[in-house]
Amino acid sequence: MDYFLQNFPQQLVNGLEAGSLYALIALGYTLIYGILEMLNFAHGDVYMVGAFLAAGVAGVFVHNEVAAVPAGLAVALMMVLAMGGAGLLGVGIERVAYRPLRNANRLAPLITAIGVSLFLESAVQVWVSPAPVLVPSNALVPQTVFHLGNVVTPLTGVMLFVVAVALMVALDAFVFRTRFGSAMRATAQDREAATFMGIDVDRVIMVTFFLASALAGMGGVLFGLRYASVDFFMGYLLGIKAFTAAVIGGIGNIRGAMVGGLLLGVLESLVGGFISSQFQDSFVFLALITVLLIRPQGLFGQPLADRA
Amino acid sequence: MAQPRILVLIAMAGVGLAACGGTSTGGAAANKPDKVQIAAEGPFTGDEASIGAGALQAIQLAVKDFNKAGGVNGTQVTLLVWDDQHSAQVAQTLQAQGISDPTVLGIVGPMNSGVVLGSVQGLQSATPPLPFVSESASNVKVTDSGNSVAHRVNARDDAQGPADAKFMIDQGAKKVYVMDAKSDYSTGLADQTQAYLASHNIPYQRDQAKAGQKDFSTTITKIKAFGADWVYFADEGPEAAPFVSQMKQSGLTIGQNIQFLGTDGEEDSSIITTSQGAYDGAYATNITADPAGVSGSAAAAYVTAFKAEYGPDSVSKAGPFYGSAYEAAQALLQAIKNSPVNNGKISRADVISHLASDTFTTIFGSVKFDAKGDVTGGGIYVYKATGSSMVVVKQVSG
Amino acid sequence: MSAQPTPKYSIETTHPLKRLWESGPGGWNHALTRPAVLIPFFVVAALVPLALQYVEDNSSWTGAQFWTLILANCAMYACLAVALNLVVGYAGLLNLGFIAFFGIGSYAYALVASDQLHQHYPVWAALLVVVAVTLAFALLVGVPALRLRGDYLAIVTLGFGLIMRDLILDLDRPPVLAGHQFGPDGLNLTGGTNGVHQVDPFNLPTSLPLIGPVPHFRMYYWIFIGFLALSIFCMLRWRNSRTGRAWVAIRDDELAARAMGVNTFKYRLLAFSMSAVMAGIVGMIDAAFIFNAFPGNFDVQQTVQIFIMVILGGLGSLPGAILGAIAFTVPPFLLQQFVFYKYLVISIVLIAVMVFRPEGLLGTVSIRPRQTMGGTLELLIAETAIEASELPAVTDAEVADLEASAGAIVEDPEWKQ
């Protein structure tokens, strides 16, 4: 018990940081599911591409020492380019691979998404690098470490948490307080009715994909700065866990995704820290299955009409 | 995959003209085999591609160098590429291609212990048996089962594990946190290390990381809670760099309040770069030695040649076995060359007996296999990350 | 139409092959699954290794064993594709953890027929164990999960597959949870990352009358082909039975099926379990074939590959599943120098197929986008399909009338087109 109490705060902090990353990616899943009712398996790989974009930009600045650009500016540029690049990638994928199948059987876009995911992973593996790529975070972000009692956490970890939460709040405001946000919510609620109301559904979907992918791109930047290493396979497991988080919070529900992500991060950290790190992932998936069986709509979702 | 005879004749003529040290003259057809093939086998795609890709490059370079030096009495060696994708099923299928073709005289690989153990039956019971020289399979059963086809140039788990543990104990370890990365290679090795520590009453805690894992904060919290003064991480993949960076961020600085011992693949100096300096002061062990770290003209020359062939940053992408793969290929090719040619054919049985009896000259010095197929008299090199390179500090025996 | 003189009827005979071509995938499937086609196909397939051996014995070619093994792998994947086709193509359930049942079957057999647990069951007893274990897991996952919507089923099955893989990898030592060890020290259930080795093959004769000695690889090729034939036979019987029609009904319009009294849950569970058991038996044959069971058997990549085979061949089509299996098994073995591009090519092919021809080569399940709104609504609207331009314009009088009864109709200036 002593062991638990002594280490709980640290593991909690670890979990919140990891969880904020899950939440950021989970938001993307939930936005796309809400609007198209499809699981975008390729979302985790869009995050991976965003991370590689960030790594590329960082490499250019740090290794070429471009005219002594202040680190802050370099980081800002990384974020802008990664978010923009990932966003455009998401829009492109939607246009090429998902739009033709928008009215098809649910199976079709799901399978295509698996194909897109595989394509992105292989493309990066073959054309960029099969081995992990360094993100020179030491040169870009001060390596200060915060100490709060026993709890130790680096600046990049706090950054991850703060920026992620800030983005989530911003997204929340966008979706619930702006007109375009109402258009998004209307499209999510009933796509055909939204068309009748004069909403340009194609455009709404495009913007949704852009936003979701840009968030994932930012996640990639924050990850790269925190862990200093990106590889072509990083999106796979993270994508599954982020999706788990979205489902636990209630798929299609933005606030649910945020809470679900943080909750999942903490759960994972506590299980790994106090029960077993080998079975950590298994516990996470078990949690997913349990939630789906007991309360399929997740924590914040609306009760679903039973379609089985 | 088959080289038409015409190309062999042209190559022969070319070699004869260049006269670069080949042992044959144009007319000594009696000693010239018609066709010689070897296979490179390993996980070149899939989840273990990070160790396979570089090894394949090394083997291709070895064959190229061997052919340039005259091949087997003038005959160029053809290299078959068998991507077993870390699956014994695929391996067995691909090996069948070689089993029934008598001109395939040996395999460099397989790289994974699991694949070796899953396919050695077929190789041994083939008529004639097909020998292999592995550059990375470390499970003890690979050579303990009495198969005459089995050879490896790397350390056995039960040699390296105890040597690693003994090194830590000699350095004054009081509490060791033993970790592996859940792979064919690392789990068995960490088990051996753990067993040695246990038998010498050193308290330890055992944990496992996952391949591709980046976030080690949970594990590091446990290390601190355990109060370990040494961290042992058996891993041949890229997990070491993020691990030590996060250790440093959490307040565990290698060389100051914690010591670190890694294994094959972690004596790679690129980890110092990718961990942004956090790796400084870490130790790593390796039997076959990273060629870049062994001062000796053959190994250093190899690194230069590798970079010349594949690009300046190819070594950092080549994984942990690009040295041992070249070494294994050299041993196999020399054994083939030493074997007698009868009617233009070399028999596998002769290759096996030469593998068992001959001494081979490789980039790491002389190599000879013992009766089981392990390398005799090999020690384990201990490296230390000093500045921006890995320096050999000690050699311990297993 | 105004009256026209009675046309003279002429009977136009179309060439049977042209008729076949015009009958589309449905017709092709029907033609290809007739006994007159299937029986010769399997007879030829069974004779192929003997022919290869003959060629090898009488020439300098040495590829008989290699090619037989490639074909054995093909046959194995064809069996798996047929089983996946059952659950995805016929019943419309997205089982992303499908390969886990293959793995469970292979480990179940390996554990009762090797030195891992020191059990050496004979084939029939082992078969019973494999079927029982696979069925148990299928029910364990299926009974709770099949009540969920399709997407959730996909995620739950994916999660199940990942959990199974982790369990297999981790159970080479007694599990330690919260500091407590469960089990004796030397407990090694699954062999961990190395898998289970030296699994007993089936106790089969090594030579047959009339044919002579039968090497291991040829025998197992025949076993896989035999199981493939058996699976196809069962599929065809099912398809034309009440069960098969229930599956088609559920897949095409579940709401309507339930309205007609079809017990959707029971049929879904049946499809799910049958496909799982089939995969498990294939796993058992595989473990005996390669003398090993590996954690790699649980990789999600394998499920994706089998999915691609089924999609390319065409959902719902048995010949398509076989074609897909051949298309994706043979080239990778032959094009070893291009291995690095393998997944790149596969993923592009999959995306292209889904975007341009989602029904694949021979598929009979329509997952194409519908041009109108879908489902039951479509049926209702179809009855009253009217072009928008044909609708009469709304007059002011009608608007006034409506307003009087329903309240003011306010035009929202924001949503002008």
Parent domain of A278 = 7-294
In a domain, B125, yes or no: yes
Q: Is residue C11 part of a domain?
A: no
Q: Do A227 and B215 touch (CB under 8 A)?
A: yes
Radius of gyration of chain A (CA): 19
B-contacting chains (≥3 CB pairs under 8 Å)? A, C
Q: How many domains does chain C have?
A: 2
- Tell me if chain A has a CB within 8 Å of the CB of C56: no
Q: How far is CA C6 from the centre of its chain?
A: 52
In this predicted structure, which of A241-245, B58-62, C20-24 has the lowest mean pLDDT?
C20-24
Sheet holding B132-134, edge to edge: B77-83, B36-42, B104-108, B132-134, B150-152
- Within a domain: A2: no
Which residues span the domain enclosing B196?
Answer: 157-286+381-397
User: pLDDT band at residue C396, thresholds of 50, 70 and 90?
Assistant: confident
Sort out which chain C residues have CB atoms less than 8 A from A199's CB and list them: 415
- What does the H/E/C string look like for A148-216? ECCEEEEHHHHHHHHHHHHHHHHHHHHHHHCHHHHHHHHHHHCHHHHHHCCCCHHHHHHHHHHHHHHHH
User: Cis ω on the peptide bond leading into residue B110 (within 30° of 0)?
Assistant: yes
Among chain C residues, the shortest Cα distance to A115 is held by C347
Structural domains in chain A (count)? 1
Residue from A98, A111, A232, A248 whose CB has the most chain C CBs within 10 Å, to mutate: A111
Which residues 185-214 of A have a C-beta within 8 angstroms of C? 192, 197-199
The domain that holds B308 is classified in CATH as 3.40.50.2300
Q: Do A104 and C156 touch (CB under 8 A)?
A: no
Burial class, A170, CB count within 10 angstroms (exposed 0-12 / middle 13-18 / buried 19+):
exposed
Closest CA to B99 of B116, B78, B124, B133: B124
- Whether C19 is in a domain gets the answer no
**Mean per-residue pLDDT, A1-29:** 89
Residues 6+ apart with CB under 8 A from B101: B37, C62, C63
Cβ-defined contact of A244 to C159 (cutoff 8 Å): yes
End-to-end CA distance of chain C: 41
Residues paired with B285 in a beta bridge:
B382
Domain match, C319 and C381 both: no
Q: Are residues C151 and C53 part of one domain?
A: yes
DSSP codes of every residue in C142-201: HHHHTTS-HHHHHHHHHHHHHHHHHHHHHTTS--EETTEE-S-TT--SS-GGG-B-SPPP
> Do B206 and B238 fall within a single domain?
yes
Q: Give the model's pLDDT for residue C386.
A: 46
- Which of B210, B219, B245 lies nearest to residue A228, judging by beta carbons? B245
A292: nearest CB among C152, C254, C417: C152
B239 and B387 co-located in one domain: yes
> Which of C73, C193, C200 should we substitute to test contact with B (largest number of B Cβ atoms within 10 Å)?
C193
pLDDT at C298 over 50: yes
Distance, CA of A239 to CA of C336 (rounded, Å): 31
Q: What is the pLDDT of residue B296?
A: 66
Whether C239 and C216 map to the same domain: the answer is: yes
Q: What is the pLDDT of residue C383?
A: 43
**B212–A233 C-beta distance less than 8 A:** yes
- The DSSP code for B229 is S
Of A119, A243, A285, the CB nearest to C344: A119
Given an 8 Å threshold on Cβ–Cβ distance, is C217 in contact with B114? no
Residue C314 or residue B21, greater confidence: C314
Identify whether B2 is part of a domain. no
Per the structure block, which two tokens stand in for C271? Answer: 């499809």
C220 pLDDT band, cuts 50/70/90, is very high
Residue C358 has what pLDDT? Answer: 79
Chain B environment of A7 (Cβ under 8 Å): 221-222, 225
Q: What is the pLDDT of residue A139?
A: 79
C410 pLDDT tier (thresholds 50, 70, 90): low
Please give the pLDDT value at position C408. Answer: 57
- Residues 6 or more apart from C22 whose CB is under 8 A from it? C14
Location of structure tokens 């990350």: B385
- Residue C65 has its nearest CB partner, among B44, B83, B99, at B99
Digit-coded pLDDT (tens) for C267-283: 989 999 999 999 999 99
Give yes or no: residues B135 and B240 share one domain. no
Out of A11, A152, A281, name the one closest to residue B218 (CB).
Answer: A11
Same-domain pairing of B52 and B147: yes
C61 and C172: one domain?
A: yes
Q: Domain for residue B183, yes or no? A: yes
Residue type, C372: T
**B282 within 8 A of B384, measured Cβ to Cβ:** yes
Q: How far is B56 from chain C (nearest CA, A)?
A: 11
Query: Do C340 and C389 share a domain, yes or no?
Result: no
Residues C156 and C286 in one domain: yes
> What pLDDT score was predicted for residue A74?
85
pLDDT band at C317 (very low <50, low <70, confident <90, very high): confident
Interface contact C73-B113, CB threshold 8 A: no
Q: In C, which residues are within 8 Å of B236 by CB distance?
A: none
- Chain A neighbours, 3+ Cβ pairs < 8 A: B, C
Structure tokens belonging to residue A260: 């679900």
- Give the nearest chain A residue to C375 (CA atoms): A105
With respect to residue B309, please indicate whether it lies within any of the assigned structural domains.
Answer: yes
What mean pLDDT do residues C173-182 have?
Answer: 81
The pLDDT value given to residue C131: 96
Work out whether strand B204-208 and strand A133-134 pair parallel, antiparallel, or are unpaired.
Answer: unpaired
Q: Strand C212-213 vs strand C207-208: parallel, antiparallel, or unpaired?
A: antiparallel
Chain C residues 131-150 within an 8 A CB cutoff of chain A? 144-150
By the 10 Å C-beta count (0-12 exposed, 13-18 middle, 19+ buried), B397 is classed as exposed
Residue C367: the pLDDT is 63
Inter-chain contact C294–B139, Cβ cutoff 8 Å? no
pLDDT of residue A22 exceeding 70, the answer is yes
Which residue in B209, B225, B274 is closest to A3 by CB distance? B225
Of C192, C411, C387, the C-alpha closest to C293 is C192
Q: Are residues C277 and C388 in the same domain?
A: no
* pLDDT score at B157: 85
- CB-based contact, A276 to chain C, within 8 Å: yes
B225 at A interface, C-beta within 8 A: yes
Q: Which helix (H) or strand (E) holds C55?
A: helix C35-57
Positive or negative torsion for Cα C327, C333, C338, C342: positive
Residue A66 lies in a domain: yes
Contact A308 C170 (CB under 8 A): no
More confident position, A103 or A165: A165
If asked whether residues C388 and C339 sit together in one domain, one would say: no
The mean of the pLDDT values for chain B is 84
Pairing of strands B132-134, B230-234: unpaired
Q: Which of A276, A281, A296 sits opposite C148 (nearest CB)?
A: A296
Examine the domain organization and report whether B89 and B189 are in the same domain: no
Q: Are C267 and C141 in contact (CB under 8 A)?
A: no
Burial C171-206 (b: 16+ CB within 10 A, else e): bbbebbeeeeeeeeeeeebbbbbbbbbebbebeeee
A14 to B221: CB separation less than 8 angstroms, yes or no: yes
pLDDT at C272: 94
**Is the domain of C296 the same as that of C205?**
yes
Contact B117 C343 (CB under 8 A): no
B-C contacts at Cβ under 8 angstroms = 87
Q: Is the per-residue pLDDT at C403 higher than 80?
A: no
How many C-alpha atoms does A185 have within 13 Å on its Cβ side?
Answer: 14
Residue A300 lies in a domain: no
- Say yes or no to pLDDT of C23 above 80: no
Helices and strands in chain B, H and E counts: 14, 14
The ipTM (two decimal places) reads 0.84
Q: Which chains touch C (3 or more CB pairs under 8 A)?
A: A, B
B208, B214, B316: residue with CB nearest A227: B214
Residue C391 pLDDT level (bands cut at 50, 70, 90)? low
Q: Are C186 and C76 members of one domain? A: yes
Q: How many helices (H) and strands (E) does chain C have?
A: 16, 6
How many CA atoms lie within 13 Å of A216's alpha carbon, on the beta-carbon side?
Answer: 39
Provide the pLDDT for residue B379. Answer: 67
Element (H, E) at C131: helix C123-145
Residue B78 lies in a domain: yes
One domain, residues B139 and B166:
no
Which pLDDT score is estimated for B110?
94
Q: Exposure of C407 by Cβ count < 10 A (0-12 exposed, 13-18 middle, 19+ buried)?
A: exposed
Helix (H) or strand (E) holding C231: helix C216-239
Quick one: C353 and C390 in the same domain? no
Range of the domain at C254: 25-369
Q: d(Cα C138, Cα C135) in Å, to the nearest integer?
A: 5
Question: Does some domain include residue C310?
Answer: yes
Q: Does C344 touch chain A (CB under 8 A)?
A: yes
Same domain for B201 and B212? yes
Chain C residues with CB-CB distance to B157 below 8 A: none
Cβ contact (<8 Å) for A122 and C158?
Answer: no
Nearest CA in chain A to B181: A278
Question: Is the residue at A157 inside a domain?
Answer: yes
- What residues contact residue C171 under an 8 Å CB cut-off, 6+ apart? C188, C189, C190, C192
> Phi then psi for B320, rounded to 5 degrees?
-85, -10
Instruction: Verify whether the Cβ–Cβ distance B238 to A131 is below 8 Å.
Output: yes
Amino acid letter, C367: I
Domain count along chain B = 2
Residue B110 located in a structural domain = yes
Asked if the structure places residue C357 within a domain, the reply is yes
Examine residue C341 and state whether it is found in any structural domain, yes or no: yes
The kind and range of the H/E element at B240 are: helix B240-249
Helix, strand or coil, per DSSP, at residue B377:
coil
Mean pLDDT of chain C: 82
A303: pLDDT confidence band, cut at 50, 70 and 90? low
Query: Amino acid identity, residue B160?
Result: Q
Secondary structure in 3-state letters for A93-137: HHHHHHHHHCCCCCHHHHHHHHHHHHHHHHHHHHHCCCCCEECCH
| Same structural domain, B115 and B179 | no
Alpha-carbon distance B77 to B335, whole Å? 13
Residue B30 pLDDT: 56
The answer to whether A239 and A245 are in contact (CB under 8 A) is no
Q: What's the whole-model pTM score?
A: 0.84
The answer to whether residue B373 sits within a structural domain is: no
CATH number, domain containing residue A237? 1.10.3470
Position C4 scores a pLDDT of 58
pLDDT given for residue A287 in this prediction: 84
Residue B72 shares a structural domain with residue B48: yes
Binned at pLDDT 50, 70 and 90, residue A53 comes out as very high
Q: β-strand A229-230 against A151-154: which pairing, if any? A: unpaired
Minimum-distance CB partner of C351 among A116, A292, A306 = A116
Same domain, B166 and B268: yes
C7: Cβ contacts below 8 Å, ≥ 6 apart: none
Q: Is residue C388 part of a domain?
A: yes
Amino acid occupying residue C398? E
Taking the C-alpha atoms of residue A242 and residue A236, their distance in angstroms, rounded to an integer, is 10
Task: Collect all residues of chain C within an 8 Å Cβ-Cβ radius of residue A131.
Answer: none
Per DSSP, the residues of C335-371 read -GGGGGGHHHHHHHHHHHHHHH-TTTTT--S--SPPS
Put simply, whether C262 touches A (Cβ < 8 Å) is no
Residues in chain A with CB shorter than 8 Å from the CB of C158 are: 240
Give the number of other CB atoms < 10 A from CB of residue B370.
13
Classify residue B148: in a domain, yes or no: yes
Instruction: Tell me which of A41 and B268 has the higher pLDDT.
Output: A41
Low-confidence ranges of chain B (pLDDT < 70): 1-30, 267, 287-296, 377-379, 397-398
Q: Judge if C305 and C175 occupy the same domain.
A: yes
Which of A127-141, B194-208, C89-103 has the weakest average pLDDT? A127-141
Q: Which of residues 37-56 of A touch C (CB under 8 A)?
A: 37-39
Q: Is residue B338 domain-shared with residue B276, that is, in the same domain?
A: no
Å from A33 to nearest chain C CA?
Answer: 10
Are B265 and B390 part of one and the same domain?
yes
**Is residue C247 over pLDDT 60?**
yes
Residue C270 lies in a domain: yes
Mean pLDDT, residues A74-83 taken together: 91
Q: Is residue C8 part of a domain?
A: no
Q: Of A104, A274, A308, which has the smallest distance from its Cβ to C367's Cβ?
A: A104
Q: Is C29 helix (H, G, I), strand (E, B) or coil?
A: helix
